[in-house]
Structure 1
Amino acid sequence: MMKSLTFLKPYRLTMGAAIFFLLVELIVELYQPYILSKIIDKGILNNDLSYVTKWGLVMLVLSVVAFIGGVLNTFYSTHVSQSFAFGLRKSLFEKVQTFSFTTFNFLPTSSLITRLTNDVTQLQNTVFMSLRIILRAPLMVVGSVVMALILDWKLSFVLFFILPLLFFFLNWMVQKGRELFKRVQENVDSVNSVLRENLMGMKLIKAFVRNDFEDERFQVINNNLKRKTATALKTMEVTMPVLLLFMNASILVVLWYGNSKVHSNQSNIGEIVAIVNYISRITSTFSVFSFIIMAFSRARASSERIEEVLTIEEDFIEKNEGNKLRNRIEGKVQFHDVSFQYPNTENDVLQDISFVAYPKTSIAILGSTGAGKTSLFQLIPRLYDVSEGTILIDDQDIRKMNSKELRGQIGYVPQEALLFTGTIKENLLMGRENASDEDVYTAAKHAQIHETILSFPNGYESKIGQKGVNLSGGQKQRLAIARALLRKPSILLLDDSTSALDLKTEAKLIQSLKEYDCTIFIITQKISSAINADKILIIDDGCLVEEGTHDSLLESSKLYKAIYYSQYGREEIPNAKGAN
C-alpha cells in the first residue's frame, strides 16, 4: 500500500490542515464530558445555577468551535482525496500507455478498467475517511481512555484488559477482510469482462439470437460476485456485535464498582457519569470500526491491484531506449532467420523467416488464415520483439533503435480498422497532429475517402461513434489508411486493409500509394492487390515458402498458381502489367 500512498506527498500541507481541524474538533468533544462532570458535582448537586450557566455557555461555545472544525476538516479532506485520486488515475493511465503487447496479455482490458475506476475510487474514499473518520476513531479511543484515567484510574482500569483484546481482534478482521475483498474485486473484473464483450458484440448476439445464452452467462458471473460480496460483508458484520458486547460489559463493571465507591464517598457522581460518557464514546467509536475495517480491507485489496500495475517492469521495447534516429528512414527492411513465439507460449508462430525489402518497393504478403502474416507485421514496429534472428531497418538492428522514433516513421493500418469517438478530422490527425488542412485533404483523397467525407452533413467535422459504429467497413478502412498516409511514413504496413473495398476503389487506392516515398507492405488475400507488387511473399504455417514477382511465381509456384486459379479461373493468365 506504500506505493499508492506516495501520491499523497504533494498534499502534505493540506492534509496537515485537515488533521489540525480534526484535532480541534476532537479535543472539544473530549473536554465536554469533563466539564459535564464538574457541572454535576459543583453546580447541580450544590444547586449553584450560576456555575451551571457559566459552564453551560462554555460548552455551547465549544460546540460551535467543534462544528467549524468539522466543516473545515471535511473541506480539506475532500480536496486531498479528490486530488489524490486524480494523480493516481493519471499515473496509472500513463503507465498503461507504456505497456507492451506482452503486458496486455498478462493484464486483460477489463481488469485494467476496474483498476483505473473502481479500485482508485476505493482508495479515494479511504483517504477521505482516513482524514475525516478513520483517523478520528483511534484518537477518540485513546483520548477517552486518557480522560477516563485522569478522572478515576481505578474505575477506568477495566479498559486496560478489554481494549488490547479488541485491537488484536480488529487486526485479525482486517487481514481476513483483505483476502475476502480481493476476491470480490477479482469478480468485478470478471463481470466487467463479460459485460464489455457483450456490449461490443451486441449486433452479433442479436443476429444469432443468443440473448438467452448471454443472459445465463452473465447471471453466473453476477451470482459469483454477489456470493463473494455477501460472504465478505457477513464476515465483517461479526465485528460490531463482538465490540459492543465487550464495551457494554465494561460499562456494567464501571457502574457496579462506581456505585459502591459513591456510597463510600470515594468517588463523585459526576466523575462516574463522565467515565460512562467516555466509555460510551469509545463504544460509539467502535461501532464505526466495522465500517473502517471494511474500508481498509477493500483499500488494501485495491491498493495491491493498483500497485501491481504501477510496479510492472516496463518491457524493454516500451522504455524508448536505443539510438536516436538522426535522419529519415530510407525504408530498407531485412529479416534474417527470424523466429517468433508469443509470450507464455511454446510454439513458434514464425520460423526462420529471411527476406529483403528495398527502399521504395512494395511487398505483398499472402497466406492462409493463421499463417503468421499479422505476427510478422507486428515485429517491424517492435510491437513485439523477435524470439530468434534479427530484423534490420536501413542495416541497423531495430532492437538498438529508439522504439518511439521508429514507430513515428511507420504508418500502420491494423486488420481491424479502429477509430475513436470524435470528429473525422480528429481521427485523421492522430497520424500527424500538426498536419495542415491541405495535408489532411490530400491523404483522404489518396485513400479514396475525400468525396465520401464531403457528402456527410458536417464534412470533416462529422462525429464518429465509438469504434466507427456509424460507418461502413469500407469507410472505416479508408479512413484508417488516410490516417496512416497523413504521417508520410517511410514504411507503410497495410494489414488486409482493403478487404472491404470494391476492385475499382482498391485499384485507385493502390495506384495512389505510388505517390508516396515509402516502402509498402500489404497483407492481402486478393491477387488483385498483390499482382503489381515488386515482391510477393507467401507465408504458410509460419514459414516463408515462396517469394518472387507475380510472373515468376506463376511459373514456379504451385501454391501461388492455386491461389490465382481460385480467384481468376484457368483462362489465359495475364502478366502483371496487363492486370487490374
Structure 2
Amino acid sequence: MVYIWRYIKKYPKLLTMDVIGGFFFVLVNLGLPTVFALMIDRAIIPGDVDALYFWSVIMLVVIIAGLLGRLVLSYASSKLTTRMIRDMRNDLYKKTQLFSHQEYEKIGVSSLVTRITNDAFVLMQFAEMMLRMGVNTPLMFIGSVVMIIITSPSLAWFMIAALPLLTMAIYVIAKKSKPLSEKQQESLDKLNQYARENLTGLRVIRAFARESYQEEKFTQETNTYMETSSKLFKLMGTAMPIFTHILIWMSVLIIWFSLGEIEVGSLAVGNLVAFIEYVFHALYSFMMFANLFMMYPRMAVSAKRLQEIDEMPISIDPNLDGITQSQTRGYLEFKNVTFAYPGETENPVLHNISFKSKPGEIIAFIGSTGSGKSTLVQLIPRFFDVTLGSILVDGVDVRDYNIKALRKKIGFIPQKALLFTGTIGENLRYGKYHATEKEIERATDVAQAKDFVHKTQEKYHAFLAEGGSNLSGGQKQRLSIARALVRTPDIYVFDDSFSALDYRTDAELRRRLKEVTQESTTVIVAQRVSSIMNADQIIVLNEGEIVGRGTHDELMKSNDIYRDIAESQLKNVSLEG
C-alpha cells in the first residue's frame, strides 16, 4: 500500500474527486431504500396518486444524483490508476537504465520484463478496485448497519450473526492465496525466460533439432502455471458463492421472522423492504471490501517484486555531480588495475594491468579465450568498476566523471553487434542525434558499409528488423562501427568487432580508420593477428596477466605465446590462399 500511495498522492485533485464521488455515491445509495420505503407506506399502500408522483420525482432526483456521483468516482479512479501505472513504469525503467551488469544478472532480464509489465498490471488492478471500493464500501457498510439498527433493532442480530462467518471465510482465502500468488509470478518469470531463449536461440535449436525438447520444457512450465493459476482462481472464486448464499439465507430468515412484527404493526411493509435493502448494501459492501482484502496478498507479492527493483542499490555510482569536461582528449591509462567479479574477490580476472595510450595510437589486446580481454575494455566505460588500481581517461579517474559524460567520450563497439528496430539512419544517429547526412556518409564509407546500404532502395531509410535480423553478421558489425564513427569520440573501443569481416574488408576498414582516429585513442580486442599487426602497441594477455607487449615484429621475436598464435593463424591464411 505504501508503494501505491507514493504515486497516488501525486494527484491530490483527482484523489479529492474520488473521495467526494464515493461519499456522494454512498449517500445516494443509502437514501434510495429510505425514499422507496416512504413511497410504499405513504403512497402505494394508501393509494395516494399525488404522493406517488411526488416520491417518484424525489427518487428520480436521487437516481440522477447517484449517477453523477458514480461518474465522478469512475473518472477520478480511472485517471488516477492510469497515471499511477505510467509513472511507476517510467520510474522502474529509469532505474533499470542505472543498473550495471551485476544487477541485471541478479534479477534476470526475463524477470525484469515480467515485473515491469505483469506485476505493474496487478498493482493497477488493485489500485483501480481500491479507489472505486476503498472509500464507498466502508462508508456504505457503516451507514447500512446504522440504518439497519434504526429501522429494526430486533432483526439486526441476523446481520451481526453473519459477520463472523464472512470474516473467517475472507481470512482463510487471503491466507492461502499469498503463496499461490508468489508461485504464479515465479512461474511467469520462467515462462518469459523460456520464450525469450527460444526466440533468440531459434537457429541453434533448429540446427541441433531440439525443438521437441524446448517444447517439452515450455509445456511443463505452462502446465505448472496453469495448475497454480487454477488453484488461485478457484480459491478466489469461492468467495462469491459463499457471500451470495449467506445473503439469500439472510433475506429468507429476515422475511420469515418479520412476518410477526408486520402482523402486530410494529414493522411497516416499507420499512421491511428498506431493511432488506440495507442488509443487501451492508453485505454487498462487505463482500466488495472482502474482495479487495483477498486481492491484497497477490498485490503485496507484486509490489514486493517491484520494490526490489526500486530499492536495489546501484553497484556503479553514476556520480551525477562528477566531472563533465576535461582539458585533454584521447588519453587513456591503466594503473595497476586488478578486477574480480562481485562475490569472487579471491579469483581476480585481471591482475595488475598497467599501460598508457595517447591520441592517434592504436593499442591492441590479444590472448587465448578467457584471458580477460573483453573484461578489460568493459572497465573503460564503467560497465564494471575496478577492484584495485585506477583507470584514467584524459588524466581523470573514470569514477570521478559524471558517468554520462564519461561514456560520451567513448565509442564502444561490442563483440556482438546490436542494432535497434528502426531505420539504418536512426541507428547511425543513435550516438549523435543531429548528425548530418555528410557525417553519416563518411562514417559508412570508412566502415565499408556504404556499398550495401546504397544497394537498398531506401538507403538510410531502409527499415531494420528487431536486432537487425535482416542483415548478415558482417553487415551488422560494419553498421555498429559506423555508428561509433558518427559520434567521433575521444576513445574508440573495438571489442572483437572485426570477427565477422573477411580479410580484405577487415584490412581496408582498418586502413580507413586511421584517417578518422588521429585525435583519438583506438583500443582493439582481437582474436585475429591480422587485425592488429599494425597496432602501435600490442599487449598479450594470459590468465588475466600481461605476458608481453610491443609491436608485431617485436613480439614475434620475444613472445612465445604471441608467436604461436600468429604462426598458426598466418599459416592457415596462406593455406587458404
Same fold (TM over 0.5): yes
Which of 531, 534, 544 is the matching residue for 1:529? Answer: 531
The 8 Å contact of residues 184 and 229 in structure 2, kept in 1 or not, is answered as yes
User: Which stretch of structure 1 is more off in the superposition, 220-229 or 141-150?
Assistant: 141-150
Partners of 2:333 and 2:391 within 8 A in 1: yes
Residues 320 and 100 of structure 1: is their aligned pair in 2 closer, same or farther, counting only changes over 3 Å?
farther
Find the counterpart in structure 2 of residue 67 from structure 1. Answer: 67
Q: 1:566 aligns with which of 556, 565, 568?
A: 568
Judge conservation of contact 2:316–2:384 (CA < 8 Å) in 1: no
1:472 to partner: Cα distance: 0.8
Q: What's the offset of the Cα at 1:343?
A: 4.8
Paired residues for 1:262-341 under 5 Å: 262-289=262-289, 291-341=291-341
Classify the secondary structure of the residue corresponding to 2:548. strand
Residue 306 of structure 1 deviates from its aligned partner by 1.5
TM-score, length-scaled by structure 2: 0.93
Alpha-carbon distance between aligned partners in 2 of 1:60 and 1:393, rounded to the nearest angstrom? 77
Match of 1:577 in 2: none
The match for 1:447 is: 447
| 1:545 corresponds to which of 547, 566, 570 | 547
Does the 8 A contact of 1:362 with 1:535 survive in 2?
yes
Give, as a single letter, the amino acid of the residue that structure 1 aligns with 2:233: L
- For residue 520 of structure 2, what is the aligned residue in structure 1? 518
What are the residue-to-residue correspondences of 1:54-453 with 2, within 5 Å? 54-163=54-163, 166-167=166-167, 169-171=169-171, 173-289=173-289, 291-343=291-343, 347-453=347-453
Measured after TM superposition, the shift of residue 133 of structure 1 is 3.8
Q: Is the Cα contact below 8 Å between 1:100 and 1:317 reproduced in 2?
A: no
1:497 partnered with 2:531: no
Any idea what the Cα deviations from partners look like across 1:71-125, whole Å, max 9, x if unmatched? 3432332222222221111111111111112111112111111122112222222
Task: Quote the Cα distance in structure 2 between the aligned partners of 1:434 and 1:273.
Answer: 73
Query: What's the CA shift string for 1:42-94, capped at 9, x where partnerless?
Result: 33333333333321332233223322332343233222222222111111111
- 1:555 and 2:562 correspond: no
CA distance 1:346–1:27, change in 2 (3 Å): farther
The alignment partner of 2:155 has SS state of helix
- CA drift at 1:365: 1.0
Q: 1:21 to 1:85 in 2, by over 3 A?
A: same
CA contact (8 A) 2:74 2:132 kept: yes
Q: CA RMSD in A?
A: 2.5
Give yes or no for contact 1:350–1:543 (8 Å, CA) kept in 2.
yes
Residue by residue over 1:550-576, the C-alpha shift from the partner in whole angstroms, topping out at 9 and shown as x without a partner, is 11111111111111111123999xxxx
Stretch moving more, 450-459 or 315-324: 315-324
**1:408 alignment partner AA:** K
Q: Distance in 2 between matches of 1:166 and 1:99?
A: 46
Is the 2:44–2:52 contact (alpha carbons within 8 Å) kept by the matching residues of 1?
A: yes
Amino acid corresponding to residue 204 of structure 1 in structure 2: V
Identity rate, percent: 34
Structure 1 residue 253 displacement after superposition: 4.8
Return the letter of the residue paired with 2:273: V
Query: What is the Cα deviation at residue 514 of structure 1?
Result: 1.4
Where does structure 2 lack aligned partners over 5 or more consecutive residues? Answer: none
What is the match of residue 480 of structure 1?
480
- CA shift for structure 1 position 421: 0.5
1:154 aligned counterpart, secondary structure = coil
Give the Å deviation of 1:386: 1.2
Cα distance in 2 between the residues matched to 1:325 and 1:469: 38
By how many angstroms is 1:394 displaced? 3.5
Quickly say closer, same or farther: Cα 1:42–1:327, change in 2 above 3 A. Answer: same
Shift of 1:158: 3.8
Instruction: Provide TM-score, normalisation by structure 1.
Output: 0.92
CA gap of 1:54–1:117, structure 2 versus 1, over 3 A, is: same
Q: Which range moved further: 185-194 or 394-403?
A: 394-403
Instruction: For residue 494 of structure 1, give the secondary structure of its aligned residue in structure 2.
Output: strand
Q: 1:19 — aligned with what?
A: 19
Q: Which moved more, 1:475-484 or 1:559-568?
A: 559-568
Verify the 8 A CA contact 2:138 2:289 in the aligned structure 1. no
Deviation at 1:449, TM superposition (A): 1.0
Distance in 1 (CA, whole Å) between partners of 2:310 and 2:436 is 38
> Runs in 1 of length 4+ with deviation above 6 angstroms?
none
Partners of 1:3 and 1:284 in 2: CA distance: 28
Distance 1:316 1:9 in 2: 31
Q: Distance in 1 between matches of 2:346 and 2:238?
A: 49
Contact kept, 8 Å, 2:539 with 2:549, in 1: the verdict is: yes
- 1:492: Cα distance to partner? 0.8
Distance 1:395 1:460 in 2: 38
Report the AA paired with residue 139 of structure 1: L
Question: Bigger CA drift: 481-490 or 6-15?
Answer: 6-15
- Secondary structure of 2:309's counterpart equals helix
Q: Is the 8 A contact 1:30 1:140 kept in 2?
A: yes
Aligned mates of 2:164, 2:325 — CA distance in 1: 65
Cα deviation, 1:153-205, whole Å, max 9, x if unaligned, reads 33214434443663465355435433422321221111111111111122222
> 2:572 & 2:31 partners in 1: Cα distance?
101
Q: Given residue 177 of structure 2, which amino acid in structure 1 is its aligned partner?
A: G
Preserved contact between residue 316 and residue 382 of structure 2 (Cα < 8 Å): no
- Residues of 1 paired with 2:11 and 2:307: CA distance? 20
| CA distance in 2 between partners of 1:39 and 1:414 (Å) | 79
Counterpart AA for 1:553: L
**C-alpha separation between the residues in 2 aligned to 1:370 and 1:64?**
75
- State the alpha-carbon separation in 2 of the partners of residues 493 and 401 from structure 1: 18
